[in-house]
Amino acid sequence: MKASPTAAKRLRHMYDALETAYGPQHWWPAETRFEVILGAYLTQNTSWKAVERSLANLRQAGALTLDGFRAVALEDLKTLIRPSGFHTRKAPALKAFVAMLDEEFSGSLDRLKAATTSTLRKRLLALPGVGRETADAILLYALNHAVPVADEYLRRIAVRHELLKPAPGNKGYETLVELTRQAFADDHPASHARLFNQMHALVVAAGKAHCGRTPLCAGCPLAADFEVRTARRARKATRL
């Protein structure tokens, strides 16, 4: 499903409203690229507070570096990341990522970063435990590739503000990514990675405060867009 130019323009205005309200977000919360990658895996289906506990365990074990991580046995890794949940699945997935890095990129994140975005995305998606959101988070936040990240908060905002109609699974995800690309199409390409980074972080901030499973629209920086949309719909219904 292709996003309309009007929807893309509205999303760009919504970005401006969120940035005015919340300011720079300075995401991702990590000190190194490898820590970003670890967090992208660990945050699947859990809260960031849980991820922080797992990262603290890994830090204490000296496993927040590639060399330190390689030295940790799989069973020990499962114990260290247990607070994040799904540790029996996430631990082998993390080991598979490092194995791929070692075998195909000489263990270098710089060499990984140097590959083309399309090649990297396909390779990441072929790894166990890596879906589209995880792959794109790694590309954007760890490797600085200009790739939008679409999450549940963005889906809720897009659907509730009628930027898009609901779409299932991967189709819905890719439609959100394309909508975000179109929203920033007029910005200089060199700024896209920074803008996509800030966009995702702002959407998370708004989502946590206002766009959870039950919307809390009072005080939301995006309330004006919603009110304008509602008023237009009401005028249209009156004319009919």
> Which DSSP string corresponds to 50-63?
HHHHHHHHHHHTT-
pLDDT of residue 234: 52
Examine the domain organization and report whether 76 and 52 are in the same domain.
yes
- Number of domain units in the chain: 2
Residue 3: per-residue pLDDT: 62
Q: Do 20 and 37 fall within a single domain?
A: no
Which pLDDT does position 94 carry in this prediction? 98
Give me the amino acid identity at 22.
Y
> Which domain does 154 fall in, by range?
5-26+149-239
Q: Identify the domain boundary among 123, 142, 161.
A: 142
> Which of 86, 107, 142 is at the close of a domain?
142
Q: Is the pLDDT of residue 124 over 90?
A: yes
* Interatomic CA distance for residues 102 and 106, integer angstroms: 5
Q: What is the pLDDT of residues 179-219, one digit of tens each?
A: 999 999 999 999 999 999 999 999 999 999 999 999 999 99
| The domain boundary residue, chosen from 122, 142, 162 | 142
Query: pLDDT by residue (tens digit) across 23-77?
Result: 999 889 899 999 999 999 999 999 999 999 999 999 999 999 999 999 999 999 9
- Virtual torsion, Cα 81, 83, 85, 89, nearest 10 deg: 10
Same domain? 196 vs 168: yes
With pLDDT > 90 as the criterion, what percentage of the chain qualifies? 85
